[in-house]
Amino acid sequence: MKILLVDDDEIFRTLLSEVLEEAGFEISAHENGLLAWEALQAEGADIVVSDVNMPEMGGYELLKLIREDARFANIPVVMMALKSDVPAGAEGGADEYLLKPFPNEDLVALVQTLEQRILGGN
């Protein structure tokens, strides 16, 4: 299962990459939404885990591109955000939100749940 991981904080991105790799996932990590969008188009992914606030292109802009593209519209997207960055209700379009800071185990459990949803066809 391939995870597209997007966060502009290099240390945080590296930490999350290691945590997810140890859990058995393949990681494609990028520092902003623009680079992640280019990688998604070139390489594909099964799940996207993205920060909200980043330079070049933020997480919500990336999410909009994903949802508007028929090739990727059904990919589960997890947004990592501060509480103040999460829109009220479901209008944000993400499948799940993780509020920063969060335990590494919460991210792994959430990605594993999404993996089971994909594999189970739900």
- Residue 88 belongs to a domain with what CATH number? 3.40.50.2300
> What pLDDT, in 10s, does the model give residues 100-119?
999 999 999 999 999 999 99
d(CA 45, CA 48): 7
Band the pLDDT of 93: cuts 50, 70, 90.
confident
Domain interval for residue 107: 2-120
More confident residue, 66 or 83: 66
In this model, does residue 19 exceed pLDDT 70?
yes
β partners of residue 27: 3
Site of tokens 């089971």: 116
Domain count, the chain: 1
Angle ∠(20,27,16) on CA atoms, nearest 5: 40
Strands 2-6, 96-99: pairing kind? unpaired
Band the pLDDT of 85: cuts 50, 70, 90.
confident
d(CA 17, CA 64): 24
53 alpha carbon, distance to own chain's centre? 13
Specify the pTM: 0.94
> What pLDDT, in 10s, does the model give residues 41-82?
999 999 999 999 999 999 999 999 999 999 999 999 999 988
pLDDT at residue 122, as a whole number:
55
